[in-house]
A and B are shown apart, each in its own frame.
Chain A
């Protein structure tokens, strides 16, 4: 069966991480996505990490743009461009200058939105973590706060924009409309999904999240990444029954029934007392062994795989969580596949990335 969005045409006229990720979700479900690139190509073509000896030199560009078409915007006439815009079900941009008045449905994804006092701010991922309130809580207690790496805010922005745009694509299927509609997503506001709970909790209780140290944060303890004999495990013990099971697992029965330790907050307050014992006990276990034993005891515990190990985890291998994307010159790279799977209309896994302008002729009249 064809993919669920096979009849949809999406244009990306900007080529930011956010617009390309938003469009990628459409492409993975079969939409025709056309990258309208400038002569020098989309900005994503320059992003680290870079690939040696491949036609597509940016691994991030390849990840974000597999199964899309590439058209050189400068080689289209204004008429050809306008026709393409008017045919599209959705046009994505970064709020840049090119007018999209011919688009029936458009979405801008900008750092701070199209209006408001910060609208003209120069944006970056780290800024969203600063302004959304997360950054202050990450890092050693004495500071400075630690910046999360990569393109995370832009990916969250792209996912959020997909929800907004896809909602309107669905709405038009339910109630056909030809009235042009322009949507906007602010990456900063999209990033508030992580902290909105904290904002309202602070409003109601006056309680504020503080930076307590690496991997130490409410609402519970133990919660974090700990070394075992041969690797890292991630642990979250929240409920009383999980605490009792965890104590049994690590042979810490003396802690199991302590009154203060029955509540998640109580354990967090007593962290200096509990942590040395837990860390010492964990060194008796192999990470893999403890993982299975904990899950059998209904304790939420996971291995924390390195990037190399991710590709070898049986769960991910069996689910095709990674697939090969052809980056040209006979080379392909393993990349994450889309995390949600429609069983009757499954997504594309893997594919190829188009060289700059490869599809231009198809859109020339």
Chain B
């Protein structure tokens, strides 16, 4: 039922990469009609940021796992927004929509003579969610960033790692996913106001500021004490042991965190006799970590996790990308859903991260191919004539095959 709950809401998704498409995906998963707009030349850069003619011939644009993962449940059209006809068609589409999402660098939409005021002229109730890295106001509003830049600019790396190392990142474009979640949250609040009051508005999301809540422990530490949080690696105040310990096999590890004496006694029992030498778990940090490592090094990480958790000891084995598909818990909860996608065949997809009762949200359609719904949206829904459709195709305003960008990206 979640998958149909936003039926009737239409989102025009101009966003590219990870953050914006992930925001729109959350609403698509709940049944909103999300129409992704690219152009044959300015296609979503998550298809590739290094396109070549060979890549185009090899249908590379349809093979990006990242693109396909974040654009499921959407429809897709192509429009050259630098062309007058393409721009006009976008405005016709906006007239039928509840909201537009974009995550271009600041300044891109104005160059296309597009923006909230333009959209509002054709649709008084429209919502525009803009989610540039630093937000839509302030001196840095036009500055460029990727999800990694967003993390760097948030200060978060100063909270992770060891004092002797550089401030340490999360080794993924951390800001993108968090920006995407906040974009979805922002859209839903604005849509609810629109549904209740009939009013649209401009919504501004700073992806950098979206990481501040994740850095709140460090920000609040400074705010309360006027000092920086020391970077202590895997050690944390009040917990011992607290670390990541090698297990049997290549690069297999287990996290063990002991927060109270009850957990400590349970661990001692499990690890007998390795921990017998420890009389003060807080004072004997190095000896403690060594003893636990000696105990874990020949054990299978996931088996050990289950054994420790059976005794209510906080522990978790590390997964890698390839083993997550086989995780017994995710499988039991129907987390991965398989859909057949053009060009790449049967593919796993993560379901929505929330669900009603114990039923996983059912995914309805795989990511669309470039311009897959051009005819359906432009002719059947916006009323473009067949003659006009053909003319736009021949001019390259619409299409379903990428072209090499004529300007550098």
Q: Is B357 within 8 A of A184, CB to CB?
A: yes
Chain A 118-153 residues near chain B, CB threshold 8 A: 118, 120-124, 126-140, 143-152
Chain B 14-72 residues near chain A, CB threshold 8 A: 18, 22, 26-27, 30, 49-50, 63, 65-66, 68-70
Q: Is A224 within 8 A of B356, CB to CB?
A: no
Contact string against B for A residues 158-199, beta-carbon threshold 8 Å, 1 for contact and 0 otherwise: 011111111111110110000001111110111011111111
Among A185, A200, A319, the one with the most B-chain Cβ atoms within 10 Å of its Cβ is A200
Q: Is B309 within 8 A of A199, CB to CB?
A: no
- Name the A residues within 8 Å of B217 (CB-CB): 48-49, 60, 149-151
Whether a CB of chain B sits under 8 angstroms from the CB of A113 is yes
Cα A49 to Cα B174 in complex, Å, equals 24
Interface residues on A, range: 35 or more
Q: Is B350 within 8 A of A196, CB to CB?
A: yes
Whether a CB of chain A sits under 8 angstroms from the CB of B286 is no
Q: Is A263 within 8 A of B50, CB to CB?
A: yes
Determine the residue in chain A with the shortest Cβ distance to B140: A315
- Name the B residues within 8 Å of A316 (CB-CB): 138, 209
Q: Is A319 within 8 A of B348, CB to CB?
A: no
Whether a CB of chain A sits under 8 angstroms from the CB of B162 is yes
Q: B238 to nearest A CB, angstroms?
A: 8
Known A-B contacts A185-B354, A304-B155; the reply to A163 vs B185 at CB < 8 A is yes
Q: Is B218 within 8 A of A144, CB to CB?
A: no
Contact string against A for B residues 126-160, beta-carbon threshold 8 Å, 1 for contact and 0 otherwise: 00000000110111100111101101110101111
Known A-B contacts A63-B220, A164-B354; the reply to A150 vs B214 at CB < 8 A is yes
Q: B173 to nearest A CB, angstroms?
A: 8
Q: A207 to nearest B CB, angstroms?
A: 9
Known A-B contacts A144-B245, A336-B212, A343-B201; the reply to A130 vs B318 at CB < 8 A is yes
Among B70, B162, B169, B178, the one with the most A-chain Cβ atoms within 10 Å of its Cβ is B169
Cα A181 to Cα B358 in complex, Å, equals 12
- Name the B residues within 8 Å of A351 (CB-CB): none
Chain A 318-364 residues near chain B, CB threshold 8 A: 318-319, 321, 333-337, 339-345
Whether a CB of chain A sits under 8 angstroms from the CB of B303 is no
Determine the residue in chain A with the shortest Cβ distance to B27: A167
Determine the residue in chain A with the shortest Cβ distance to B311: A122
- Name the B residues within 8 Å of A344 (CB-CB): 193, 199, 201-202
Whether a CB of chain B sits under 8 angstroms from the CB of A204 is yes
- Name the B residues within 8 Å of A51 (CB-CB): 224
Cα A360 to Cα B70 in complex, Å, equals 45
Cα A134 to Cα B205 in complex, Å, equals 26
Cα A113 to Cα B183 in complex, Å, equals 24
Q: Is A224 within 8 A of B166, CB to CB?
A: yes
Q: Is A208 within 8 A of B322, CB to CB?
A: yes
- Name the B residues within 8 Å of A25 (CB-CB): 185
Per a CB cutoff under 8 Å, which of A121, A184, A203 touches B325? A203
Binding site secondary structure of chain B: mixed
Known A-B contacts A121-B309, A132-B319; the reply to A150 vs B224 at CB < 8 A is no
Q: Is A301 within 8 A of B138, CB to CB?
A: no
Whether a CB of chain B sits under 8 angstroms from the CB of A310 is yes
Interface-located stretch among A35-43, A73-81, A237-245, A246-254:
A237-245
Whether a CB of chain A sits under 8 angstroms from the CB of B265 is no
- Name the A residues within 8 Å of B9 (CB-CB): 174
Whether a CB of chain B sits under 8 angstroms from the CB of A276 is no
Whether a CB of chain B sits under 8 angstroms from the CB of A307 is yes
Q: A166-B189, A174-B195, A199-B348 are in contact. List 16 more A-B contacts (CB 8 A).
A: A49-B224, A50-B224, A52-B224, A163-B354, A164-B2, A170-B6, A215-B168, A225-B168, A232-B157, A300-B149, A306-B155, A308-B228, A311-B223, A315-B138, A339-B182, A342-B190
B residues neighboring A (CB under 8 Å): 2, 5-6, 8-9, 18, 22, 26-27, 30, 49-50, 63, 65-66, 68-70, 134-135, 137-140, 143-146, 148-149, 151-153, 155, 157-162, 165-172, 174, 177-178, 180-186, 188-193, 195-196, 199, 201-207, 209-210, 212-226, 228-229, 233-234, 236-238, 242-246, 251, 253-255, 257, 259, 263, 309, 312-325, 327-330, 332-333, 335, 344, 347-350, 352-358, 408-409
Chain A to chain B contacts (Cβ below 8 Å), 26 pairs = A48-B221, A60-B216, A116-B330, A116-B332, A118-B309, A126-B316, A127-B316, A131-B317, A156-B178, A156-B181, A160-B353, A170-B191, A185-B353, A197-B69, A198-B172, A199-B348, A203-B348, A236-B149, A307-B222, A310-B212, A310-B222, A311-B222, A316-B138, A335-B216, A340-B210, A344-B201
A residues neighboring B (CB under 8 Å): 4-5, 7, 21, 25, 29, 48-52, 59-60, 62-63, 107, 112-118, 120-124, 126-140, 143-152, 155-156, 159-171, 173-174, 181-186, 188-190, 192-206, 208-211, 214-215, 217, 223-227, 232-236, 238-241, 263-264, 295, 298-311, 314-316, 318-319, 321, 333-337, 339-345
